[in-house]
A and B are shown apart, each in its own frame.
Chain A
Amino acid sequence: MAEKSFSTHVNQIYLPGDSVALSKTDEISSAKIVIGPGIRKYGKQILVTKPGVLRTKASPATYWIDCHHKRYVPARGDDVIGVVTNKVGESYKVNIGSSEEASLSSIAFPGATKKNKPNIQIGDLVFAKLLIASIDMEPELVCVNSLGENVGLGVLSTSGFLFTVPLHHIRKLLNPECTLLKSLGKALSFEIAVGMNGKIWIKAKSVKQTIALARAISISEHMNKEEMNKLCRKFVDRQAGF
């Protein structure tokens, strides 16, 4: 396929095998260029490997493909929600929806030591960060930051609710420009954990509220900003009506 000129190629649909042209400034400058998911460097060419829309960002110059996903492929640094399926020695096996189960060491929790381990049952949910995510290795999770501090990762309460949405919807919700969660938070008291693996855990005061919030979040998948605002207003009205 013929290369498109830069001005036209951002926010355009690309198919696997298409080549991406860098912008003039990126090509000349000596600064590093980051190639995100969906793009690979093949010899001198930069090729697309997933069908989707090309997105770019400046400083550091980043190129990636925004595409529709349902199944999760682990990526290093992602925060994910997993279900604890087994305990093997000093570590837990956690299902994060990827092809292989991830491992989570029982001392990778804030304040945990060899003697003082967190109390985790099989079937519990954990919100953890992917430390290792490589195609050839078992993914590894941690629930602390690099300094061993509590940063909001860890076991999630069993009184909440877990549901699954497509991966691109997660990215939309976590985008700093998306106000859906914040505006819902103005109406209701709730806590939420959004995992990059498409899982959302949510807990409100009652089961009814939890279910209503979960519905509101999952139907907003294809909504634009205005529709989301409208949904929020409607939601607030409904809650006030109780």
Chain B
Amino acid sequence: MKETPLSICEKQTVIQGVKEGQRVDGRSLSEQRKTCITFGTEWGCCQVLLGNTRVMAQVSCSVQVPKSSRANEGMLFINVEMSTMAAEHFEAGRLGQQGIEVNRLVERCIKDSRCIDLESLCILVEEQAWEVRVDIHVLNHEGNLIDAATLAALGALCHFKRPDVTLDGRDVIIHQLDERDPVPLTILHHPLTLSFALFNQGKTCVLDPTNLEERSADGKLVMGLNAYRELCTLQISGDGVFIHKEAVLSCANVAASRAVQMVEMLKNSLADDAAERAKGKYTGLVNSVALETERITTQSQAEVYFKAPKHKVEVLDKEQLPITKTKLINDQGVVTLETSCDVSSSESDMEIEPLPSVAVKKIEPLPSVALKKRVHEEIDIGNDSEEETVMLVTSDLT
């Protein structure tokens, strides 16, 4: 099924709103939607709610022969599934352009930044190693799938525990979960992505865009960062999109401070989950469903959305943020800022003119006049005596 096309008025309102510093859902330009991380009863099951975008990730593992090129390392495999349940234009089993983009960016953020210590997943060099597989399921698509998918994948990896293994000579013994406590994965740092939609020739960047904003925007800027303010992924997409060097830097600053908060939040949710499990009463994902209904219905939420709109226009450049330079690690899979800034120098100040509204033609309703005329006409022909008698009959009937 085709995706519902974007109408002119939706696009215009979003663009006009962003120009005035107002977003369609009442957020400010650098405000994220409400994020919620929940874990399932299984190890390595994590669900992330980003506004109404809902993504679930499940980690599983199996013992495989390691690759000959990296004989002392385990493997990490990331797979994204997008079903029709999430959005009507998704096709089950086929990722499409958007799906491939999500899959690739999650891979770049998590796999290429080497946040998982793969060497610890090796059981026997050149013979046996763990393959960790992350299956990401998009459950509802309301924009910014990339951020939700990376957060879900990272949450699932942090939550996951693999069975313990001991070696008896060259015999590998894999212990059942009830036999020995399972072992968590070694996670070196927590990278996540933060996406910005680019408006106004790349002068205005909007954090955590909704589906509507993503579609109305000129382009998108995705940044992968960890809690140490280290940039590990950067991507700009969109047709002929311009972005200023300053805008990239200010986005990086916003993203870095948000990343610190998000990692904190993830750690807190993990700690909460661990505490509940220790108490022996974990309800899994059931909680998240109840949580959502509460989120929609309560009056307090309405108050959040109804804070008085601010008069001053918030532009990212003017934002008062701690100016700590983002560190660029030139390690594996890191994009340097220079290459992406080359396209940015254009300073064209073209204003997007609102399209002329369609003139609705005025229709003169004249039924009463016409009726009156008809009455007169019938009177006119009354000279004929025969017609007159017939007329009397018809008026009786009607």
Interface residues of A (CB under 8 A from B): 71, 83, 85, 95, 97, 99, 101, 110-111, 118-121, 123-125, 149-150, 154-163, 201, 207-208, 210-212, 214-216, 219, 221-223, 227, 230-231, 234-235, 238, 241
Contact = CB atoms under 8 A, between A and B. Distances in A.
Interface string B10-40: 1011001100101111100000000000000
A65 B23 CA distance: 36
Contact of A156 (B9, B359, B361): B9
Contacts of B6: 83, 123
B5 interface: yes
Contact of B299 (A99, A120, A156, A227): A227
B305 interface: yes
A71 to B, nearest CB: 7
B9 A157 contact: yes
Interface in B351-371: 354-355, 357-361, 363, 365
A9 to B, nearest CB: 25
Chain A contact residues: helix, strand, loop or mixed: mixed
Given A157-B357, A215-B26, A124 B8 contact: yes
A113 to B, nearest CB: 12
Given A123-B6, A123-B7, A158-B9, A230 B24 contact: no
A154 B8 contact: no
Contacts of A83: 4-7
12 contacts: A83-B7, A95-B2, A157-B360, A158-B9, A158-B355, A159-B9, A201-B9, A207-B17, A215-B26, A222-B297, A231-B302, A235-B306
A125 B361 contact: no
A111 B362 CA distance: 9
Contacts of A158: 7-9, 12, 354-355, 357-358
Contacts of A160: 9, 13
B184 to A, nearest CB: 38
A191 B10 CA distance: 16
A158 B358 CA distance: 7
Contacts of B10: 161-163
A227 B297 CA distance: 10
Given A215-B305, A219-B302, A155 B358 contact: yes
Contact of B360 (A154, A219, A241): A154
Interface residues of B, number: 40
B293 interface: yes
A201 B13 CA distance: 12
Contact of B24 (A95, A97, A163): A163
B318 to A, nearest CB: 20
A118 B12 CA distance: 22
B4 A161 contact: no
B359 A162 contact: no
Contact of A149 (B20, B354, B365): B365
A83 B7 CA distance: 6
A123 B10 CA distance: 10
B375 interface: no
A54 B242 CA distance: 55
Contacts of A208: 17, 20, 22, 309
Interface in B320-357: 354-355, 357
B361 to A, nearest CB: 6
A123 B354 CA distance: 14
Contacts of A97: 4
A207 B365 contact: no
Contact of B13 (A149, A161, A231): A161
A161 B360 contact: no
Contacts of B354: 158-159
B297 A124 contact: no
Nearest to B361: A111
B304 to A, nearest CB: 10
A215 B24 CA distance: 8
B302 A211 contact: no
Interface in B269-318: 293, 296-297, 299, 301-303, 305-306, 308-309
Given A83-B6, A163-B10, A235-B306, 5 more contacts: A154-B360, A158-B9, A159-B9, A227-B299, A234-B303
